[in-house]
Amino acid sequence: MFIRVADDSKSNNEIVEIPIDGDMDGSVSLSTLAAQFQGVSALKYRNTETSVWRGVRVADGKLYHPDGVWDPDTVYVTVYSKPVSSDIKRKGVGEQQEEYPITSLGQSKSQRLEYGEETSTENEPDHRCVDLIVLGISYRSLEADVKKCFEVFGELVFCEIKRDANGQSRGFGFIRFKNYESQLAVINKRHFIDGRHVDVKIPDSKTSAHEPEYARKVFVARLPDSITPDDLRQYFSKYGPIKDVYVPKPARSFAFVTFHDSNIVRTLFGTHMIHGCSVTVGPAEPKNKLPAIGDYPTSTYKRAKPDHSSLRTLTAYSTSPAHSHYHQQYGQTANTDMMQRFFQQYGTTTNGSAKAQFSNAQQSYWSNAHEEASAIWQQHYR
């Protein structure tokens, strides 16, 4: 289990997942947290009822949630201890000094919020609020409904629903907060307006300039339909902090996993074992990309097209320890004879010969076998 933590003094606004310690007391280790956020001393979060910051309990180098339970969807915000007065530089005569002292670790030039302090950071260039896109608004909702939902987190300076020429809502809109901490509190969280959930994000127009989102995303294909976003999050989080997981509903046997760091995505291309199933991971293509003459040919992993019949047999072997070994050795490229020989050396038996299995296999078969393998995996390992 992880909690989501952000440092609102940082420009990048990134959320880092921090593990909850496994020793049953449900605490988060301060040192684990400090490994990601130098100099951190505590965490705070927005009390949604009163819209006031609430601090978590700190004792013996551990952080405890006041309610006893960490909300996986809440973004907890780092708190840094107040520098002692001796750290504060005296302002020399005629000297232009920084208004705020550098923290003891000297990492940040920016002002840090103290616990319980409601300082506005709107003048910090990195902390400025931006218009946020609100997606999924009911076509019946009005500006007032949107406003009511988000005012809980702080004062809004802007709220608009986009409409077509006839005044019909387009189902999305934009809001802007006065204070940056309000923005942090709502972003990437689920909210409800008129019984529909809506998502709040930094608009593409603000982010795509430097690095397009798809550069931080992988395309995961050949997934069993039973796989959940949480399963994927759990599996892929060992490679790096995850920003988002997208699984189409209804399931379409693929998903997208977005990381915070684009550098790791290329290391993931290839086949992976998730829940006893072999899946392929490839680069995400830009959204809405139009096919064009002269397009670079599809990526390497795609060109080496996996053999579906091989996969069927692989999944039929399900959770045998030989399975993952085989997978390591041949991926999905080997032919059926190779497979049979390989598994025979392990004394693994199948229900019928591999050849017979897919000579009469239809398209639907591999999906069934996939589901079955996944179910068996869950029985054994979950």
Partner DNA sequence: GTTGAGCGTT
For binding to DNA (CB under 7 A), which residues are involved? 130-131, 133, 135-137, 158, 160, 162, 170-172, 174, 199, 201, 203-206, 213-214, 217, 219, 221-222, 225, 246, 248, 251-254, 256, 280, 282-289, 299, 302, 305-306, 308, 363-364, 367
Residue closer to DNA, measured from CB, 10 or 196: 196
Residue 351 per-residue DSSP state: S
List the end-to-end C-alpha distance of the chain, in Å, as a whole number: 15
Question: Shortest gap between Cβ of 324 and DNA (angstroms)?
Answer: 19
Nearer to DNA among residue 151 and residue 160 (C-beta): 160
Q: How far apart are CB 97 and DNA at their closest, in Å?
A: 36
303 versus 382: smaller Cβ distance to DNA: 303
How far apart are the C-alpha atoms of 245 and 231, rounded to whole Å? 10
Task: Pick the closest to residue 159 from 169, 174, 177 (CA basis).
Answer: 174
Q: Please, what is the minimum distance in Å from the beta carbon of residue 364 to DNA?
A: 6
For DNA, the closer of residues 55 and 203 by Cβ is: 203
267: three-class secondary structure by DSSP = helix
Least Å distance between CB 68 and DNA? 33
**Closest C-alpha among 64, 74, 58, 67 to residue 24:** 64
Rounded least distance, CB 289 to DNA, Å:
7
Least Å distance between CB 198 and DNA?
8
Q: Which tokens hold the place of 2?
A: 């992880």
CA proximity to 222, closest of 367, 374, 113: 367
**Is the CB of 82 or the CB of 260 nearer to DNA?**
260
Choose among 53, 58, 70, 19: nearest CA to 184. 53
What are the phi and psi torsion angles at 216 (to 5°)? Answer: -105, 10
Q: How far is the CB of 98 from DNA (least distance, A)?
A: 31
Helices (H), 178-271: 180-186, 204-207, 229-236
- The torsion angles phi and psi of 44, rounded to 5 degrees, stand at -135, 165
Give residues with Cβ within 8 angstroms of 221, minimum separation 6: 253, 254, 279, 280, 281, 282
CB-nearer residue toward DNA: 16 or 130: 130
Q: Which of residues 70 and 219 has its CB atom nearest to DNA in the complex?
A: 219
Q: Could you tell me if residue 60 is left (phi over 0), alpha (psi between -120 and 50 degrees) or otherwise beta?
A: left
Q: How far is the CB of 269 from DNA (least distance, A)?
A: 10
Cα distance between residue 169 and residue 370, in whole Å: 42
Between 333 and 344, CB nearer to DNA: 333
Task: Give 169's strand partners.
Answer: 163
Q: Least distance in Å: CB of 339 to DNA?
A: 17
Closer of 162 and 325 to DNA (Cβ): 162
Cα 309 from Cα 294, distance rounded (Å)? 32
User: What CA–CA distance (Å, rounded) separates 380 from 382?
Assistant: 6
For the CB of residue 23, give the shortest distance to DNA in the complex, in Å.
37
Q: Which of 238, 243, 179 is nearest to 214 (CA)?
A: 243
Separation of CA 201 from chain center: 13
Compare residues 27 and 179 and give the one whose CB is closer to DNA: 179
Which residues, including other chains, have CB under 8 Å from residue 179's CB and lie 6 or more apart?
118, 120, 121, 122, 129, 154, 155
